[in-house]
A and B are shown apart, each in its own frame.
Chain A
């Protein structure tokens, strides 16, 4: 079946540190891949996405590359800020589309200290 696995949190970093949050997936075919961010008490916001192999999604300094050979979509940022503190969810949308439903990883909490 389809599934997403993320590295466990919480991840605690100092401001301006380099961030990597690992995400691997299991799916048949070529799913679309997403990263969402959730700030405390809020819903989810789309951070970036990639729809085919080798695509790189990027937004607000965050990047992730769709790696079919390693079934991964790791999130990276070169220099994190305190305002990046949030929970990050990796998700996939199956290639069969199934109405567009998303399958989420368990989320990774990021805490950035000044």
Chain B
């Protein structure tokens, strides 16, 4: 299947700083990327959907000014957690798919473990 690479796989940052997570589709053009957050032993919560060249669409309850999403190219989307706090510590997962072919599934990155201290 297609490959989606997320970087970094884990990061520790100080409270109040910002951290950027990258999501790349390595062998296909991702017209749409999704960012999820996963709490321990829980399901994935969709945070936002981004289409290349457009502003991201955020799910209800997700602060767009805190979780900045950029999808500047067909192979790269970034999630920046601004002014991080310990409660932002979580596992963040991106997924990507192309809408140029009907009924394709989304492919997931390996996730980023964020710890805010």
Contact = CB atoms under 8 A, between A and B. Distances in A.
Contacts of B109: 43
Contacts of A66: none
Interface in B59-117: 93, 95, 97, 99, 103, 105-111, 113
Contacts of A34: 105
A46 interface: yes
A43 B111 contact: yes
A45 B42 contact: no
A15 to B, nearest CB: 24
B93 A44 contact: yes
Interface residues of A, number: 22
Contacts of A105: 43
A107 B49 contact: no
A10 to B, nearest CB: 9
Interface in A31-57: 32, 34, 36, 41-46, 49, 51
Interface residues of B, number: 26
B105 A109 contact: no
B58 to A, nearest CB: 12
A107 B42 CA distance: 7
Nearest to A34: B105
A102 B106 contact: yes
A104 interface: yes
Nearest to B44: A104
Interface of A: 32, 34, 36, 41-46, 49, 51, 89, 99-107, 109
Interface of B: 1, 4, 6, 32, 34, 41-44, 46, 49, 51, 57, 93, 95, 97, 99, 103, 105-111, 113
